[in-house]
Amino acid sequence: MEDSKMVNSQKKYYPTAFALYFAYFILGIALSIMGQYKAEFAKAWGASTLSNGAIDVSMVVSVIAAYGLGRLLAYPFAGPISDKVGRRVSGLIGIFLYVVFFFGVISVHQLWIAYAMGIINGAANSFLDTCISPSVMEIFPKSASIANLFTKFSITVAQFLLPFVIGLVASAHLSYKIIFIGCGILMLADAFLVMFLPFPQQEKVTTGKNKITVKHHFSAAAIASILIGFTSSTTFMIWLNCNQELGASYGVKNPSLLQSFYAVGATVAVLLTARLIHLGLKETTVLVIYPSISVIMLLLCYFITSPVILYIGSFVIGYAAAGGVLQLATSTTISFFPESKGLATSLVMIASSTANYAVLSIAAYLTKMTGADAPRMIILLNVVITIIGIGLALIVKRHERVKTDAPAVNLEN
């Protein structure tokens, strides 16, 4: 009876959840759209032409990497604002920063201003993360991990639809800028919803006389869980932003289709993984198995240089790398710091941001220095970091096993 009352009381927050998931839908477009228009942005920012006649897109990769820097700079503020000031405030800051990004990035013609837009893109993501992940877990407390996993579903649906939208815009002979303008307008509409819809009451943890003081214990497993934010983000962000060049080098006629296969894989993963978790699969098991699948697929894509393997690889990488590993790492980290969900989310995403900035900057350097060999060199970089992620997940898995076995040992004694 109490569970029924709880469900009914939570229903008033369902429109809020929809508005938050919709913000992540638009975020999904922001994550990948610049990678689809590298040549157009490079021309707008005055890029030089390479010896083979192609436009040098390395500056666009650098701006995409600035997204990671923006996240890194914003998370130390975003987490505390979410926990102490409120989820709504954090969400509104993120939404309005995205409005600035969508309208701003298509208006600039200088690289340093474009780089600033990349930083704003990342900062916007930070504030949305620290609002949305804790909020949906508080709206659906009985299925917190699954609720957080569906933030990824919102992103993957957007990334699946994006190539079709790009095709429609191209066939209508419209400027690519129309997509950015549309996203900016949709974000403004969503801001109105987030501003007025109710949010669940969050646990307030304060310090002082007769109040609770929270002490955060950073065990080896907690640190490993946080660092999975770095490794899991590396796996899918490198593929997402560099598969176009890899596809062209392997003879793929329409490399943008790889994006759709990737998005389908990620969407299937979210739905199937949510079901498996509901049936009892441990989140930590997913954190071990999925990166292992990614490593095998990346190696196949390195050694088999055919277009077919990239279509298969895009689906599999979408499934195993972009299908919710980062979100499950966030949920797992929150279990180590249940009183500070915003902070826990920030810590994982700081690790993720570091990956976005550092690894994509390395990818930009490899693109500039190694030319035609860069796409395959980037695959090897991805393999090494993903293997490290498997090791981190095994540490978290071992901690869970020890924690689960401990009560049984005490009962015997």
Nearest Cα to 108, choosing from 75, 73, 59? Answer: 59
* Token pair belonging to 26: 């638009």
Report the pLDDT value the prediction gives residue 396, as an integer from 0 to 100. 95
Cα atoms in the 13 Å half-sphere on the side-chain side of 268: 13
Residue 241 one-letter amino acid: N
Q: 288: burial class by Cβ within 10 Å (0-12, 13-18, 19+)? A: middle
Q: What is the C-alpha end-to-end distance of the chain, expressed in Å?
A: 37
pTM over 0.85: no
User: Could you list the mean pLDDT of each consecutive 10-residue stretch along the chain, which spans 413 residues?
Assistant: 58 93 94 84 78 73 84 88 92 97 92 92 93 90 86 85 89 93 96 94 56 65 94 89 84 84 89 90 93 97 94 95 87 86 85 82 79 84 96 94 62 43
What b-and-e string marks burial along 335-362, b requiring 16 or more CB atoms within 10 Å of the CB? ebbeebbbbbbbbbbbbbbbbbbbbbbb
Report the pLDDT value the prediction gives residue 196, as an integer from 0 to 100. 95
95: left (phi over 0), alpha (psi -120 to 50) or beta: alpha
Report the pLDDT value the prediction gives residue 215, as an integer from 0 to 100. 58
Residues β-bridged to residue 49: 55
Report the pLDDT value the prediction gives residue 72, as an integer from 0 to 100. 84
Report the pLDDT value the prediction gives residue 412, as an integer from 0 to 100. 44
Report the pLDDT value the prediction gives residue 410, as an integer from 0 to 100. 47
Cα atoms in the 13 Å half-sphere on the side-chain side of 115: 9
CA angle 315, 321, 322 (to 5 degrees): 80
> Cα-flanking dihedrals φ and ψ of residue 50, to 5°?
-75, 170
Q: Where are the domains of the chain?
A: 13-199+211-405
CA dist list (Å): 285 to 132, 266, 369: 24, 18, 39
> What CATH fold (topology level) applies to the domain 13-199+211-405?
Growth Hormone; Chain: A; (1.20.1250)
